[in-house]
Amino acid sequence: MPLSSVRERLFRNINANWRDVLVISLVVCAGVFLRTYHFSDWLHFELDQAFDYDLVSPAVGHSPLDLPLLGPNVGGGLLRLGPAFYYMEYVAATVFGNTPTGHAMNVLILSILSMPLFYLFCRRYFSRTESVGLLAVFSSSLYLVMYSRFSWSPNVLPFLILLSFYTLLRGVSRKERYSARWFLFSVGAVTLTSQIHFNSFLVVPLVAVIFTAISRPRFHWKVWVAALAIVLIIYSPVIANDIVTNRENLHYLKEKFAKTSPGSFIMPDTLVQTVEYGAYESFFINTGRDLINGIKLKDYGFEPGAYGDSFGLKILALALVLSGSVILIVRIFREHDADRKNFLILILLWLAVSFYLIYTIADGYRMYPRFFLLIAPLSILLYGFVLTLVGPEKSRVRLVAFSIVILTLVGLNMQAIFPVFSRLQDDTAPTTRGEIEMGDIFPNTNRITFGEQRLIVDYIASKHDANGYPVYINAKPEYEPVFWALLERRGIRYHDEIRDSSLYVEGNYFDIRYADDSFGTDSKFTILEQRPFGALTVTFFKPLEKVIVGTRQSDADQKRSVVMSDISKLRTWRSLFR
Question: What's the rounded Cα separation, in Å, for the pair 140 and 408?
Answer: 11
Question: What's the rounded Cα separation, in Å, for the pair 208 and 190?
Answer: 8
Q: What is the pLDDT of residue 360?
A: 83
Among the listed ranges 269-278, 338-347, 411-420, which one has the minimum average pLDDT value?
269-278
Residues 67-87 have a mean pLDDT of: 89
Q: How many CB atoms lie within 10 A of CB 174?
A: 11
153 has a pLDDT exceeding 70: yes
Which is more confidently placed, 158 or 497? 158
Cβ atoms of residues 436 and 535 within 8 Å: yes
Cβ atoms of residues 74 and 180 within 8 Å: no
Q: What is the pLDDT of residue 301?
A: 45
Cβ neighbors of 33 (< 8 A, separation 6 or more) are none
Q: How many CB atoms lie within 10 A of CB 553?
A: 21
Query: Using 50, 70 and 90 to split pLDDT, how confident is the model at 194?
Result: very high
Beta bridge partners of 68: 572
Question: What's the rounded Cα separation, in Å, for the pair 289 and 323?
Answer: 19
Q: What is the pLDDT of residue 261?
A: 55
Query: Using 50, 70 and 90 to split pLDDT, how confident is the model at 302?
Result: very low
Q: What is the pLDDT of residue 201?
A: 94
Closest C-alpha among 532, 473, 456, 458 to residue 507: 473
Query: Using 50, 70 and 90 to split pLDDT, how confident is the model at 262?
Result: low
Q: What is the pLDDT of residue 297?
A: 33
169 has a pLDDT exceeding 70: yes
Beta bridge partners of 541: 509, 527
Residue-wise pLDDT for 24-40, tens only, equals: 999 999 999 999 999 99
Residue-wise pLDDT for 202-248, tens only, equals: 999 999 999 999 999 989 999 999 999 999 999 999 999 999 988 89
Q: What are φ and ψ of residue 113, in 5° steps? A: -65, -25
91 has a pLDDT exceeding 50: yes
Cβ atoms of residues 357 and 203 within 8 Å: yes
Give the DSSP H or E segment for 425: helix 396-425
Q: How many CB atoms lie within 10 A of CB 265?
A: 6
pTM of the prediction? 0.91
Residues 429-453 have a mean pLDDT of: 67
Cβ atoms of residues 314 and 273 within 8 Å: no
